[in-house]
Structure 1
Amino acid sequence: MAKQQHNIINLVFLCIIVTLFCACWVPAATEELAAPVFLFGDSLLDVGTNNYLIGSKATANNPYYGIDYPNSTPTGRFSNGRNFADYIASLLNYSDESPPPFLALIQDMGNFNRNILGGVNFASGGSGVFDRTGCQAFTNVVSWKQQIRQFETVCGNITQSLGEIKAGKLISNALYIISVGSNDLFDYHRFSPPISGPHFLANLNNALAIKLKILYTLGARKFGLLGVPALGCSPAIRSMNGGACNETLNSMAEAFHDSTLTLLHNLSQANPGMHYALGNSYKLTRVIIDHPALGGFKVASNACCGQGPNKGQGKCMETSNLCKNRDSYVFFDLFHPTQTASNYAAIFLVSGGNQTVSPINFTTLANIHV
């Protein structure tokens, strides 16, 4: 009897120890996960999506792209090093650089569900608001519509991993960074469709509203849009315009910013819990292009790497004329900024005032708890 009582006492003691241990230890699966960042859009955010596309002419997986990236590796970023996606993710403390492309993550399906919890980059160089944008110029791009379908797949996998309630919380508190519109305007300029500029912009805004509402329906609540820069002053456009900016194209970029700001305000009023920040990339880039010394730059009219007038004809290649002091250039190739210029602009979007981003900056947007 004494031995039986002793065993019972030991069992009770063991149960107390186990109970205390379990009260102090929480499995990793039940910990609250940090909200991720999801990125959509074009080459300003693309970190290698187009490397996986067969026949795409919108690629940056060759030297001298990536010359200032670690190990001088061409990663598919349209930059000499890091790009907007990297700097925004870093400045907002999501990660050291952008999360990987969706098309890279699906190469490792065994870890796919775990990896997507840290965020996903869907952006594809050449894509735009319209479904066919970039196809005529670049043959093969991942349209924004397709990117949203990929995100829908990610949402399903997150729900499968975490359950509906936790997944919904994670998705709604994630930050959604979007860069679209530039290629739509470039296509309009290149191919001159039989439609007036104001009518084209009205259609563009309608298509933008539809895509944003689809993302909202999928659970997105915090939208950070980069805005369209001063496209008419890119080396590519200057090379076709005697070295001067094309102010017609610039006017369309500026008008698109204004109409997008109105659109976002209206959407946020009609859709509960929606928050947004819109970068005034037109104003920001125009100031730096017109007054490069303000940002510590010396050259704003020519690309660092390219051919022809303003080095604006053809993408950067290993046979191109590459500048030596890349930090002094605003543009790396015919369309895209250097990593220094991307970092400079990202700082204004992340922590700037309403002259460069409104109605709030990306930091304030990221810190909103939905």
Structure 2
Amino acid sequence: MVIGPGGAGVSMTAAAAALNATGGRRRGAAGVSSLGAPDADTLLITADRRSPTAGLLGVFRTPNEPVVVSTRLHLLSLDRLALLEETWAGFTTVLAETIARSKVVLPGVGALADIDAGELATLPGVEDFLLLRRIRDEAISGRWRRIIVDGSGLGDPFEFLRSASVLSQTLNRLWPRHRRLAMAAERPVLAQLTAAVDAIDRDCIDIAELLTDPHSVAVHLVVSGDGRGAQVLPHFLATVDVMGLALRSVIVNQGTAAGAADVRTDALRAMVGTDNDVQTAEIPRLAEPIDRAARLRKLAVALPTPNGRPSGSGAARVTEVTDAGSGDDDHPTYELTWRQRLPEPDTLRLGRSGDDLLVTVGGFRHPVRLPSVLRRCIVTDAAWDGTDLTVRFVPDPGLWPQRR
């Protein structure tokens, strides 16, 4: 997953990495790589309506269908509106069948069923979820050895990546799962509708788990080697931590820098720190414009593969601490700790919503799912020591079992 602020060169970096990934690997017999993967083993995905990638690679853009770039590289240009229309058409079919079979008037369902797919322009959050679901489907298809996702043209990349979690929360707030199941049991005619909603909810959970799986997904952050890159990098790193994304590299693109590149690159490297799991690379400025695949190859962009090591909130650990002033043997104290970068410590906010700890960093709020032992506890305080964020919990007397 290649992400970064607009104008940093995310599309160019993703395309160059995809070309580099398909070249130079030792090949075996019958057109199979040494890893046993077929020739068509790399898929480059873009969801930017105005992406220049197809033109740079010399192919026509065919929405939602993989296009052959070379024997080992395909390009998939996703059209979010087409995905939305296709999914909505299937969902309204289920709604119409539910209405036809039900003798009871279901409030709101008829109005939704009457909305034609062609009338839709956008459904906030749903489009991003559908894009992620299509990416997930390609990832689990078994067809591709490696998938590189170009995260440009999606607005805030972190809002995009958390869209599945937000949609799941919304569904379960508006129509909780236990109520869906109870209603389906009481009115079998609703079974098909509840099954459709459950399928969406399961997909949301599956996507959220996949994006934070360090064995399968690696995140690569592209920033420009100028003052703007230095300004946004600390905030991007903080958001990566709170979301628990497996960051594997920070790529400094000097092609957008205006000067004093070496000094700025050193400063950006210092911001990343000495994390052995994160590599820092640089794309030098080229004399000629990058207008075709041959010049993209000259960038020699290599993206580190997933290493299986979680980071940020994904590596949060729970410890039981002894504190004579806060509890007793019946009411232990727990601490939840993870490494969290905070460029603006004063913006840190904590809240609670069900089984989630709501963490706000730099104006970005993300729900961190609590381990089971902490879901029956109350947050008492929090502290940040410059590296790690520690949140302290004590058992909720109303939910914690009492000793006899």
The verdict on a shared fold, with TM-score over 0.5 as the criterion, is no
User: Which has a greater percent of strand?
Assistant: 2
TM-score (norm 1): 0.31
User: Which has a greater percent of helix?
Assistant: 1
